Chain A
Amino acid sequence: MKTDNAYNNRLLQEIRSFAKPAALMEVCGTHTMAIARAGMRDLLPENIRLLSGPGCPVCVTSQSDIDRVIQLARNPEVTLLTFGDMMRVPGSETSLQECRSRGADVRVVYSPLDALQLARENPQREMVFLGIGFETTAPTVAHTIVEAQRLKVNNFSVLSLHKIVPPALEVIFSDAQMQLDGLICPGHVSLVIGLGPYDELVSKYHKPCVITGFGDEDILEGIYMLMRQIISGQARAEIQYRRVVKPNGNPIAQKLLSRVFQPVTARWRGLGAIPGSGLTIRDSYAHFDACRRFSIPEIEEKTIKGCACGGILTGKISPAQCALFGKTCTPLNPVGPCMVSQEGACAAHYRYAPMKGRE
């Protein structure tokens, strides 16, 4: 998106004119990254605080789930296909990247359809795609599973760690300790789910929600729209990112989701087990469910000593307040997942630390 500096400056000026203190949470890692990369925290007035919520699928994947993935990757019959994001995420002992260096067959793909294609080209191998991501990504995986069935690709399966966002927002909104005034809602999740889930949240918790795009201009407009509501004491679900997000979302993607997946309880790092927040593969597609195809034992969740990712993901503390931040936990040697993922709040904070007061 082209940066229109005059307009951005105008927006910043308007935003600065709102004197009321407000804590706004972005629940999308891409927003976390975009805000950090633009140095936006430096430009916003002191009274507006931006919190980074549980918006990176890598970050919210529980360590025990990562351990299970690694166990599967070690199976010599299996080729594990994954988005690049997951390669460096540490489980309790090792990462996929390390696994690969010790001989596991782990490959990075850009699209789940590329994974299906690789499965067709290697019919003698068990090709397992690691399904990670929220409502934006899950329909692409659902479609791929439907295709695998249509094309009878019998050596393809998916380990689904997919999660959906609204139940996690519900947990955050209902937390009495959370001092939250408004939500910068994820643009690309919302292009699938639409405005409906936010309308429900607003009617229950009376906090403004604005579905926001990812350009500098989009984010500033989103913040401006939230502040307008906060100042006037209103709470509505609105769409800033109208060129992409329709009020009813994408019904085809929604249908694909419910056709292939069913909601289950999922473990989120930092938030714990949330009912109905995970997506597991339905019985009608059982053949493509890696969990049923391979025996992958449940692994007990171990907590990482000193790691405050849980508090960071819920916006209760900022990355710099974690005792490990920048000391034993750095992007090169990440301890917690918020440091591993480029989108993680800690990695973004570390890489793009604002310069206020440092110069």
Chain B
Amino acid sequence: MCLGVPGKIVSKDNYTATADINGNQVVVSIAMTPDVVPGQYVLIHAGFAMQIIDENEAEETMGWLLELRKLGEAYEN
């Protein structure tokens, strides 16, 4: 129901930031993510950075899925 796309923050001022989506640049409101800093990825919806994306979070807490991913690699070989 809600399209969202990851974008990398390239610059930021008080209320808005410029995010890069594969080379496309879009100005987004950071009202929902005021703490975001350039270099971080955000989830963009309707012109807003809705959440900071944290790839590490996914890796740390999903140990058993990581196992499965490793198995995936083995499966390929």
Partner-B contacts on A (CB < 8 A): 4-11, 13-14, 28-30, 55-57, 83, 110-114, 133-134, 136-137, 139-140, 143, 186-189, 191-192, 214, 221, 224, 242-246, 250, 252-253, 256, 343
- The number of inter-chain residue pairs (CB within 8 angstroms) is 122
**What residues on A are CB-neighbors of B71 within 8 Å?**
10
Contact A136 to B54, CB < 8 A, known contacts A9-B72, A112-B46 = no
User: Would you call B47 and A191 a contact (CB within 8 A)?
Assistant: no
Chain B residue with minimal CB distance to A55?
B1
Please determine whether B57 and A242 come into contact, CB atoms closer than 8 angstroms.
Answer: yes
Q: In the complex, how many residues of chain B place their beta carbon closer than 8 angstroms to a beta carbon of chain A?
A: 31
Tell me the bound Cα distance from A204 to B2 in angstroms.
27
Q: Which of A28, A114, A140 contacts B1 (CB 8 A)?
A: A28
Contacts of B62 in A (CB 8 A): 242
Q: What's the least CB distance linking A255 to chain B, in Å?
A: 10
A14 to B69 Cα, complex, angstroms: 12
Across the interface, name the chain B residue whose C-beta is closest to A341: B1
CB distance from A247 to the nearest CB of B (A): 10
28 A-B pairs within 8 Å (CB atoms) are namely: A6-B72, A7-B69, A7-B72, A7-B73, A9-B72, A10-B71, A14-B68, A28-B1, A110-B47, A134-B1, A139-B48, A139-B50, A143-B29, A143-B32, A186-B2, A188-B2, A188-B43, A188-B45, A188-B50, A189-B1, A189-B2, A191-B43, A242-B57, A242-B62, A243-B55, A250-B50, A256-B32, A343-B1
Known: A134-B1, A191-B50. A139 touches B72 (CB 8 A): no
Q: Are B3 and A191 in contact (CB under 8 A)?
A: no
Pairwise interchain contact A243-B47, C-beta atoms closer than 8 A:
no
Tell me the smallest distance from the CB of B45 to a CB of chain A, in Å: 6
Verify B76–A253 contact, CB threshold 8 A: no
B53 pairs with A244, CB closer than 8 A: yes
The residue in chain A whose Cβ has the minimal distance to the Cβ of B15 is: A147
Q: Which of A140, A245, A252 contacts B45 (CB 8 A)?
A: A140
* B21 CB–A CB distance under 8 Å: no
Residues of B within 8 A of A243 (CB): 53-55, 57-58
